[in-house]
């Protein structure tokens, strides 16, 4: 039976094909460059028309907003955004931050001032997102808007969609 001979030859070649594929993967992985963060550019001062409110938790009376115009996703896979937090007591906090979905980390680059200027954060290294805190705006952004199972949103458009439609599924192609 000629068909059986061809099948036998194909089955014998299968391990070689699998090995070649894994060999290329090992080569690509070994030559992978270390992650390098891109320089962050300070955004414009947030304006009311661009603010999208998002829910953090029923455990807080603060109101949280993202400035849609400030959102970017860099080639370094960092989602950068301006968050505005209006405290129940009347204070307003404005922060320019970055989030790395793949490592569950965040970084604060700068703080907004009442005159519209920015002050660079003195301590601005990468820190773990506290995923157990009910009061963390970063936890809410990570879980519901910018990261899904550690996968970063593709671009600002997709991030805005998820801010307006938490945990929705959509194809942006």
- Domain borders along the chain are 1-32, 48-164
Q: Say whether pLDDT at 164 is over 70.
A: yes
On average, the pLDDT of the chain sits at 85
Q: Say whether pLDDT at 109 is over 60.
A: yes
Average pLDDT over residues 118-123: 94
The model's pTM: 0.77
SS (H, E, C) the chain: CHHHHHHHHHHHHHHHHHHHHHHHHHHHHHCCCCCCCCCCCCCCCCCHHHEEEECCCCCCCCEEEEEHHHCEECCCCEEEEEEEEECCCCCEEEEEEEEECCCCEEEEEEEECCCCCEEECCCCCCEECCCCCCCCHHHHHHHHHHEECCEECCCHHHHHHHHHCCCCCCCCC
Measured at the alpha carbon of residue 41, what is the angle toward residues 172 and 67, in degrees to the nearest 5?
55
- The span from the CA of 93 to the CA of 86, in Å, is 7
Q: Say whether pLDDT at 28 is over 60.
A: no
- The span from the CA of 29 to the CA of 79, in Å, is 24
Fold of 48-164: Lipocalin (2.40.128)
């Amino acid at each position: 039976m000629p068909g059986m001979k061809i099948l036998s030859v194909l089955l014998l070649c299968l391990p070689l094909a699998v090995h070649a594929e894994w060999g290329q993967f090992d080569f690509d992985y070994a030559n992978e460059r270390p992650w390098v963060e891109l320089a962050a550019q300070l955004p414009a001062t947030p304006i009311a028309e661009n603010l999208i409110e998002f829910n953090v938790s029923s455990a807080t009376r603060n109101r949280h907003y993202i400035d849609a115009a400030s959102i970017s996703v860099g080639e370094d896979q960092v989602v950068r955004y301006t968050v505005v937090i209006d405290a129940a007591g009347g204070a307003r906090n404005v922060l320019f931050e970055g989030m790395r979905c793949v490592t569950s980390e965040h970084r604060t680059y700068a703080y907004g001032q009442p005159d519209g200027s920015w002050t660079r954060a003195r301590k601005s290294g990468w820190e773990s997102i506290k995923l157990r805190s009910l009061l963390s705006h970063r936890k809410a952004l990570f879980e519901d808007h910018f990261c899904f199972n550690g996968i970063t949103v593709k671009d600002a458009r997709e991030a805005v969609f998820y801010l307006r439609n938490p945990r929705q599924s959509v194809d942006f192609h």
